[in-house]
Amino acid sequence: MFENMFTTVRPETVRAATTATYVAFIGSGFAFASWASRIPQVRDQLGLDPAALGMVLLAIAAGSLLALPLSGPVVTRIGSSRTVMAMALLLGVGLITAALGSLAGVVPVVIGLFLLGFANGAWDVGMNVQGTVVERRLGRSIMSRFHAGFSLGTVAGALLGAGMVALRVPVAAHLTGVAALVVAAVVWQAGRFVADHDETEPGAGESAPKVSALTAWKEPRTLLIGVFVLAFAFTEGVGNDWISIAAIDGHHVSPALGTLAFAGFLTAMTIGRWYGPALLDRHGRTAVVRILAVIGTAGVALFVFAPHPVLAYAGALLWGLGASLGFPVGMSAGGDDPSRAAARVSVIASIGYCAFLAGPPVIGFLGDRITVLRALITVAALLGLAALIAGAVRPPVDQRK
């Protein structure tokens, strides 16, 4: 799947960059989940009702949506290493501002969350670009494992957050400590990234064709990959937000068992991301993600229409497995041409992240009319679309074009 295009970087340097990329993904997940784990305490300290809390949390989405389309030109100009280092510092500032703001009022929290969202959006593009570079240098698929690292980071952040709540550690102290840890680790490791491209790779010289973010928005393949990623992002985001509620309200299980369905979904998705590279290298991107889309569709249908909760849990597992590789494979496809990777990954991520914003309100709106459980069938419809357009992620025969 990959050509051996790099001759100037030693294997140990590539291994160091691989470890550094894992740290960037894990750190991003850890920081975000640490904040999320303390939302109830921030809500209580500020006395926010659900509507007000929703508006406050919208600051994260606003920051990310602004950063994603801007990050392509930034990464192209200064590289993924400097981008991730700068955004790690900005995320630390945002996280600390939000944490301390919880003691002062809503305005500093909103400012902090906007900075956090902006930093997270640009950081996401930068680390995904570096992930595509590492893939090419290693000559094998590994992007999905980086995304599995993000998942592990979220689990670690959530568990630490639960412990901090149990120990009654103040929000400000907890999140300030997390910010310091993440900034130190990620800035140090991002300095070990390898160059996004060099003079030895095809199309990397001075005459290499450059692509602006605006140009990337006009490329049919890039837009199609964006829609593909949107479908899988919707699948993942809806699972994260609604599986527990649908299990409790639709299949009438206890809250603890509803959480178990969510845990099964996450576990299956993480396993799929960890073991997916071997399948991708052996069978190719298109075949694997198309089969996973079918598996995910079957899982969603089983979860929605299962006559017994045990079968619904099986559906949640299939759903998680089916959702596992679509997003990382889309990022890999965006980075096939190193000289154009930053702009294309930025566009694909911008389209894909719309699903994380649209998922909760779409399911909520439909849930009011046909129940949340039945509303989940929209996930199956989008996975069907993803299966149809999966050919877009196939690597170009000539990556210089």
CATH class assigned to 11-190? mainly alpha
Predicted pLDDT of residue 399: 47
**121 residue type, one letter:** G
Mean pLDDT, rounded, of the chain: 86
Predicted pLDDT of residue 213: 62
Predicted pLDDT of residue 111: 95
**Where are the CATH 1.20.1250.20 domain residues in the chain?**
11-190, 213-393
Provide, rounded to the nearest whole percent, the portion of the chain with pLDDT above 70: 91
DSSP annotation of 393 reads G
User: What are the tens digits of pLDDT across the range 27-86?
Assistant: 998 998 888 878 878 888 888 876 677 688 778 878 888 888 888 888 888 989 999 999
pLDDT category at 202 given cuts 50, 70, 90 is: very low
Predicted pLDDT of residue 207: 42
What would the mean pLDDT of 184-190 be, rounded to a whole number? 96
Q: What CA dihedral angle connects 41, 42, 48 and 50, to 10 degrees? A: -70
Residue 102 contacts residue 172 (beta carbons within 8 Å): yes
Give the span between the Cα atoms of 2 and 37, in whole angstroms: 39
Residue 208 has pLDDT above 90, yes or no: no
Query: In angstroms, how far is CA 52 from the centroid of its own chain?
Result: 26
SS (H, E, C) 82-130: HHHHHHHHHHHHHHHHHHHHCCCCHHHHHHHHHHHHHHHHHHHHHHHHH
Predicted pLDDT of residue 176: 95
pTM for the complete prediction?
Answer: 0.79
Q: Which two tokens stand for residue 324?
A: 């596992």
Q: Which two tokens stand for residue 42?
A: 């921030």
- Which residues have C-beta within 8 Å of that of residue 202, sequence separation ≥ 6? 5, 399, 400
Residue 320 contacts residue 265 (beta carbons within 8 Å): yes
Predicted pLDDT of residue 282: 93
Residue 278 has a CB neighbour count (10 Å cut-off) of: 12
Q: Which two tokens stand for residue 44?
A: 């209580």
Residue with the bigger pLDDT between 266 and 314: it is: 314
3-class secondary structure, 225 = helix
CATH class assigned to 213-393? mainly alpha
Half-sphere exposure of 123 (CA within 13 A, CB side): 32
Residue 375 has pLDDT above 80, yes or no: yes
Angle at 397 between CA 280 and CA 327, to 5 degrees: 40
Query: Per mean pLDDT, which of 111-125, 157-171, 286-300 is the most reliable?
Result: 286-300
What would the mean pLDDT of 309-316 be, rounded to a whole number? 95
Query: What long-range pairs does 109-116 form, CB within 8 A, spacing at least 24?
Result: 109/42, 109/46, 109/56, 110/56, 110/59, 111/59, 113/56, 113/57, 113/59, 113/60, 113/63, 114/59, 114/60, 114/62, 114/63, 115/63, 115/90, 115/91, 116/32, 116/35, 116/60, 116/63, 116/91
User: What are the tens digits of pLDDT across the range 132-169?
Assistant: 889 888 888 888 899 889 888 888 888 888 888 889 99
Nearest Cα to 28, choosing from 115, 114, 119?
119
Maximal CA-CA distance, the chain: 63
pLDDT category at 3 given cuts 50, 70, 90 is: very low
DSSP string over 329-391: HHHHHHTSSGGGHHHHHHHHHHHHHHHHHHHHHHHHHHHHHH-HHHHTHHHHHHHHHHHHTGG
Residue 233 has pLDDT above 80, yes or no: yes
Give the span between the Cα atoms of 210 and 338, in whole angstroms: 10
Provide, rounded to the nearest whole percent, the portion of the chain with pLDDT above 90: 46
Residue 97 contacts residue 112 (beta carbons within 8 Å): yes
Give the span between the Cα atoms of 380 and 79, in whole angstroms: 38
Residue 205, φ and ψ in degrees, nearest 5? -75, -170
Buried b (16+ CB within 10 A) or exposed e, 172-207: bebbbbbbeebbebbbebbebbbbbbbeebebbeee
What would the mean pLDDT of 168-179 be, rounded to a whole number? 94
Residue 226 has pLDDT above 90, yes or no: yes
